[in-house]
Structure 1
Amino acid sequence: MTTSLTHDGFGARLRATRKRLGMSQAELGGDRYTGSYISHLESGRRAASHDVVEFLALRLGVTADELGMEPSLPEPIDSFDDTHALEHLLVAERAWHDRDWATAGELATRAAASALNAGQPERHWQALYVQAQAALAEGEFADAIHFAERLAAHQVAATSPTLRAQALCLSATAHRVGDELPMALVHAGQAVELAREAPPIVMADALMCLISAALEAGRPTAETDRLCAWLEDVSLHVESAHARGVIYWTLGTASFKSGNVAKGLELHDLAMELLNPRRDLRMWLRLNRSAANCRLDAGITDGVREMLEVARGGLSLIGSAFDMFELRLAEAKLLLHEGRPEQAAEHVEAVLVDPAMRPATVSNGQGEELLAEIELDLGRPERARAAFIRAADLYGKQEQFRQASQCWQRAAALEDMGVHNVDSPTPSV
């Protein structure tokens, strides 16, 4: 891809966009550029290369040309490249439907390269979309974020609010499951704004992304209640029963989180009826696992074992490491509720050291927090305090600051009770 970069006014546009989103210079730079370097760009003391502008546009969720870059694809070379792009894309989509995520991603990569060489921006966007979806399905969240952000900044998306909203939804999902909640909230919020003139299903997707990120970030209940009411209104205009099932799943989970257990149970039951396992088996299996987890958190065990058995039977074959990690934590919660804390502790400890779970290490904070609760149930406060501290440290590294703060508070409360563990790290100031 070739680009022309205009530096005149770039720094001012960069600063204005960053401040509008409430991001600091360090947050914008992420792990690639320092806050000082961003400051130099905004003041005009440093010139931005193509790669720098593209990266910053992705972080801000805007198109590259909005920051001063005008991307353009080369002129078509010949029909041979175009044919190759179409062939690769068709086979990639077939692999996707067969749940062969790795092959789908590889073929989509070839399709993207061929489309780029052939000067076919629409097909290039399609190929990037398959790449992002395949990476997300494989649990390669960093790659999924990269591809999704490229989609949002693509010249094709620049002319279509619907396409850009879909790309930002994908990016928000990848950021959320990858435990990068601040960017998930930013991109989901932008998707909602763009989807106002889009079909109802696109608005529903955007709202579900924003609600899910808001719940995990611990946003005020009033805010999530408002978003849920909006999503309920939108659901009345969604024709697909399967899509409404996904919406009720989200609304049910939000109801459980807000303490309305009766409504949560009702909505999850509706989701179970409407979600079609023949259309998306993995989503249906995840719904069983999610519904079981919500019930356990509410102190309900009725029907949970059956849900977890259904989820395990399928996710063990087609689930990712993250699916299995969350499933096994739910199984440990059930053991705890059944009065078997020793087995629950062994279950969690086995998950945390299982090499197969290594791709899911960003979720280890959940595991350590659950282990702390189990240790308290076993009457071992020293071990519980150590686990709370480990959980807080892990949550902090993933920028899940609400959860980190709660775990530090639990650890501090145990310390006030005279519980000490010399092997535990101390909080960083």
Structure 2
Amino acid sequence: MKVLVIGYVWPEPSSSAAGYRMLALLKTFRQQGWEVTFASPAEKSIHRANLPSMDIREINIALNCSSFDTFIDELQPDLVMFDRFMMEEQFGWRVEKYCPNAIRLLDTEDLSCLRHARHQACKKNGEVCLNTLPEQLYSEHAKREVAAILRSDLTLMISKAEIDLLQQQFKVDASLLLDCPFMQPPVTSEQQKQRPPFEQRQHFIVIGNFRHAPNWDAVLWLKHSIWPLIHDRLPEAELHVCGAYPPPKATQLHNPKQGFLIKGWVEDVNSVMQQARVNLAPLRFGAGLKGKLVDALACGTPSITTSVGVEGMAGDHHWPQPVTDSPEQFALQAIMLYTQEHQWQTSQQLGFELHNRRFDFDCHAGTLVSRLQQLRQGLAQHRLANFTGAMLRHHSMKSTQYMAQWIEAKNNR
């Protein structure tokens, strides 16, 4: 099978959870022997993955340009995966025009309209925002994203909680959605033994791409409301704030006297995570699953997070580590986990077990491939059953097409 992935950005597995999830999807396709091309209109970044080493072809494409039509007409892929709904909006009508029989797969990474709605709610009350008001959720952003989901043959959802929301709030049919969380190799018993023990670890860590609004908000909440409480009780402990693309407003928070250290981008997340004793993830808003928590589970680094951070993480299982939405309780739980070895060891072991049950690569990759093969065999009938999607493609794709052609004509003047 010939696969085209249209990326919103070039995947950066060392910079974001979205980056290493994309790499896992690409690996799944390559394991089947499928021919994979990755195309993106974004500029190539310095931290991007080496896709040619995976025998994946790289192509630069342009927005609102008919050069893409020639490219895809020549490629004739069997499967096209759009990385987030904006790419489906931009290129979906072109794919349908030149490759009508190709499966159109959408990967959301997270349900961004939910993340935006929670962001608005957090701005209003300054608290952890798991729930939103209808006027916040049913936004213009939501209309665009849900429309892209309905136009696609299948959408990969990283969180079962978001599948439930799409089905209950937006009435999206279950046949259009697939639960596809992070996919990682299991942590073997030998690898678990090799993780540094409690007494060899020190300090706290918080990690996340600074360009992602929930991560920046978490750093500010830590700086002003949580870390002072921890530092007062544990003056020798440090908080290492790691993440790609720290802006000047972040580096200005660096304060060695307070033990608040802005470390910025790290090349090897696992190495840094394994040196820390406790991972802090005080997320007040957001969506999807949290890669920083998955990394911590695999590294044997117990975490403390909020109800937003833990949403969907355990699937049908119980989340085995501390969860609280109060800054005072967050600090207290952090101090207890940092100082009580028995609690730390119990949290670590339960974390290993959850990681291996919930994020097994072979299990989720097998489910994805099976669903795609099933879809390929019954694509015509599948599309007949999705009349709403066909109707949206008929109307919205025409408007998108004419807008793109108008922009192209304007640019060529």
* TM-score, with structure 2 as normaliser: 0.25
Q: Counting helix residues as a fraction of each chain, which structure ranks higher?
A: 1
* TM-score, with structure 1 as normaliser: 0.25
Instruction: With a CA cutoff of 8 Å and minimum separation of 6, indicate the structure with the bigger relative contact order.
Output: 2
Q: Counting strand residues as a fraction of each chain, which structure ranks higher?
A: 2
Instruction: Look at both structures and tell me which one has the larger radius of gyration over its CA atoms.
Output: 1
